[in-house]
């Protein structure tokens, strides 16, 4: 648990670990104490707490972080947003939350992959359907394979 004497780095690191573990109560306490919601963990591909929450399929944590000002379009060192990682992991609930909050449906990582491309690559029909229903570009191309076959 955070203490009044914790500095900014300890608060930031603690928030990131709480996001990783899915501890919304601890994350809330750390945010109340001033943890920077958009801190990037250099040791973990530059991921923010929101990106980690998406990677770990923690919708409740993502919602808390967004409510507290997390940058929806923050990218890790590979250029991946929370939406891209949630789609890649097949976490339809978190994908839906991120889209409802205004996530860029066509954001691309450094390989040119979008959320739709990665969800299709994983064979996640439910997430693919959601992304298409929300207007994802079916003709999206990445730099590795140009246009991936979606089905």
Mean pLDDT by 10 residues, the chain (151 residues): 61 95 97 96 93 97 98 97 97 98 96 93 93 88 58 50
In degrees and rounded to multiples of 5, residue 142 shows phi and psi of -110, 170
In a domain, 139, yes or no: no
Cα 10 to Cα 72, 73, 77: the distances in Å are 23, 24, 22
Res 106: pLDDT: 95
- What are the distances in angstroms from CA 30 to CA 11, 34, 59, 77? 6, 6, 18, 25
Cα four-point dihedral sign 44, 35, 104, 52: positive
In a domain, 3, yes or no: no
Looking at the domain assignment, is residue 33 inside a domain? yes
Q: Looking at residue 137, what is its pLDDT?
A: 84
**How many domains does the chain divide into?**
1
Residue 144 domain flag: no
CB proximity list for 138: less than 8 A, separation 6 or greater: 116, 132, 150
Report CA-CA distances (Å) from 39 to 36, 52, 121. Answer: 6, 11, 30
Res 146: pLDDT: 46
Cα–Cα distances (Å) from 3 to 24, 68, 95, in that order, read: 17, 20, 34
pLDDT of residue 5: 47
Asked if residue 13 belongs to a domain, the reply is yes
For residue 15, what pLDDT is reported? 97
- Residue 143 located in a structural domain: no
Residue 142 lies in a domain: no
Q: Which domain holds residue 113?
A: 8-134
pLDDT for 138: 80
CATH, residue 111: 1.25.40.20
* Cα atoms in the Cβ-side hemisphere of radius 13 Å centred on 118: 25
Distance between CA atoms of 26 and 138, rounded to whole angstroms?
40
The predicted structure's pLDDT at residue 6: 56
pLDDT at position 2: 45
The encoded tokens of residue 9 equal 């780095």
């Amino acid at each position: 648990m955070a203490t009044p004497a914790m500095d900014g780095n300890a608060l930031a690191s603690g928030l990131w670990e709480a996001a990783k573990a899915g501890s919304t109560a601890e994350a809330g306490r750390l945010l109340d104490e001033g943890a920077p919601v958009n801190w990037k963990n250099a040791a973990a591909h530059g991921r923010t707490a929101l990106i980690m929450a998406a990677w770990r399929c923690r919708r409740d944590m993502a919602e808390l972080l967004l409510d507290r000002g997390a940058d929806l379009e923050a990218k890790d060192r590979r250029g991946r947003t929370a939406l891209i990682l949630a789609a890649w992991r097949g976490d339809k609930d978190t994908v839906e939350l991120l889209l409802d909050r205004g996530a860029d449906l066509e954001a691309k990582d450094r390989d040119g992959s979008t959320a739709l491309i990665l969800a299709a690559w994983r064979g996640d029909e439910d997430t693919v359907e959601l992304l298409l229903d929300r207007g994802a570009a079916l003709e999206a191309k990445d730099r590795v394979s140009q246009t991936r076959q979606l089905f």
